[in-house]
Amino acid sequence: SEVCITPGKPFTFAEIDFQSTESKILAFGLPGNPVSSLVCFHLFVVPAIRYLAGWTNPHHFRFVNFQRIIILI
């Protein structure tokens, strides 16, 4: 399946099942643009690796409320 994200197209994720064993391979297709590739890696691949490693909260920390600070000089 594809993920609709801009910039960062095309990003693809797939699970490959083997009929002979019960193991799966996770395949991530990253974009060609280096910056988009790095962003997609940190948004999707890093949490997947953390989840597989057994982290209780594999997602990145996100700040919901940003306050704008204006400094007058």
Kindly tell me if the per-residue pLDDT of 63 is higher than 70: no
Query: What is the distance in angstroms between the CA of the first residue and the CA of the last residue of the chain?
Result: 51
14-31 pLDDT, tens digit each:
888 877 777 888 889 888
Kindly tell me if the per-residue pLDDT of 33 is higher than 70: yes
Sign, CA torsion 22/23/26/27: negative
Q: Tell whether pTM > 0.95.
A: no
Kindly tell me if the per-residue pLDDT of 2 is higher than 80: no
- The residue that leads in pLDDT, 2 or 24, is 24
Query: What average pLDDT does the segment 25-51 reach?
Result: 88
